[in-house]
Structure 1
């Protein structure tokens, strides 16, 4: 495997991973509303989902799913439905200001629940599946060794971990969290629109 191929894969993955989307949106929402522990747990779930699809694409599952688009359709509908559910939950806070304190939210969204939410968000994101399948097909030849594939998967894991855990640490910063508490309804409205838009994009994705 050439170094240029690895750089191309990491650069492409960075642009996709760091850009706004369901993953970063959910990390911000959870870190601000439920605290650092929940934010890091959710980020861990997203990283796990990313690792699953990266490894799957490296060993051919991504190409198999592209060959059977009905599987991707099922994943897409599940993902869109879940994002819509998150949009409704955020909208409820924005419209009615349910009076849930930050501490109560932390209790309601524990580490395991946050991890499961992050994992579900990434496992049901068809764009993640297609991205990894495409990037491996473009950048790596069919005869790439198992060692080279493992290196790529590990490098992507490290990069995505730095990005997603970094977002969790950023949005759980005390100053940002304090500002969020004063403007919780506004932020909840933004998150509701963001999750709704993400769901729409997932539904119309080919």
Structure 2
């Protein structure tokens, strides 16, 4: 991968990361209600799942992944149900105007990470994106381990930056809402977004 193709690859992945979808909607909803810190592990889970797909694409494992259609379907519906459950919890959660951000405790962080991983892992079409996308930047027939490491690193940084940019923007909007009424509306908006992301994940082809 040349310097020019590496920069282009990075920018393309960054744009991909901020394209609306279940993952972006989940980040929006989490950041609007709990702030940026609460979205870090959620984002890391999504990014790691994408990296797994990217590596699979590099090694030509798309055909194997397609044979796991039933497993992916189960994961997708489980992820959709979980997102809709979280949306409901946000909708009915008590109003808080506290400025404290983040999730405390390793259990909540692990749960957030696994939620993010599940959201991305439930979309096997991501690997097809990478299969079609990677040959533009590297020759997959002579791919070296260093090429895969470089592509994974660039994708990790680009994806995480994109998701964090969305998270920061949503969190800043949250800071402008300080009244109890506005926070209640924010909770319900975020809950609606999260539930809609779950529905989208369940109904998409």
TM-score computed with the length of structure 2 as normaliser: 0.75
Kindly indicate whether the alpha-carbon contact (under 8 Å) linking 1:14 and 1:159 is maintained by their aligned counterparts in 2.
yes
Kindly indicate whether the alpha-carbon contact (under 8 Å) linking 2:53 and 2:130 is maintained by their aligned counterparts in 1.
yes
- Are the structure 2 counterparts of residues 44 and 161 from structure 1 closer, same or farther at C-alpha, using a change threshold of 3 Å? same
Q: Aligned-pair distance for 1:163?
A: 0.9
- Are the structure 2 counterparts of residues 55 and 182 from structure 1 closer, same or farther at C-alpha, using a change threshold of 3 Å? farther
**Other-structure match for 1:148:** 147
Q: Select the residue among 73, 78, 83 that pairs with 2:80.
A: 83
- Could you list the runs of 5+ residues in structure 1 that have no partner in the other structure? none
Quote the Cα distance in structure 1 between the aligned partners of 2:108 and 2:76. 22
Quote the Cα distance in structure 1 between the aligned partners of 2:188 and 2:72. 26
Quote the Cα distance in structure 2 between the aligned partners of 1:172 and 1:26. 13
Is 1:74 the counterpart of 2:71 in the alignment?
yes
- Are the structure 2 counterparts of residues 139 and 170 from structure 1 closer, same or farther at C-alpha, using a change threshold of 3 Å? same
- Are the structure 2 counterparts of residues 3 and 177 from structure 1 closer, same or farther at C-alpha, using a change threshold of 3 Å? same
Q: 3-state SS of the aligned residue for 1:47?
A: helix
TM-score computed with the length of structure 1 as normaliser: 0.75
- Are the structure 2 counterparts of residues 135 and 51 from structure 1 closer, same or farther at C-alpha, using a change threshold of 3 Å? same
**Other-structure match for 1:18:** 18
- Are the structure 2 counterparts of residues 138 and 72 from structure 1 closer, same or farther at C-alpha, using a change threshold of 3 Å? farther
Q: Aligned-pair distance for 1:18?
A: 1.0
When structure 1 is superposed on structure 2, of 17-26 and 101-110 the one drifting more is 101-110
Q: Which has the higher helix share?
A: 1
Q: Aligned-pair distance for 1:51?
A: 1.7
When structure 1 is superposed on structure 2, of 125-134 and 106-115 the one drifting more is 106-115
Please give the per-residue CA displacement for 1:89-124, whole angstroms capped at 9, x wherever unaligned.
Answer: 313543xx3425466994698322222211221222
Kindly indicate whether the alpha-carbon contact (under 8 Å) linking 2:54 and 2:152 is maintained by their aligned counterparts in 1.
yes
Kindly indicate whether the alpha-carbon contact (under 8 Å) linking 1:80 and 1:200 is maintained by their aligned counterparts in 2.
no
- Could you list the runs of 5+ residues in structure 2 that have no partner in the other structure? none
Question: Which residues in structure 2 correspond to 1:119-134 (within 5 Å)?
Answer: 119-134=117-132
Q: Select the residue among 80, 86, 94 that pairs with 1:99.
A: 94
**Other-structure match for 2:30:** 30
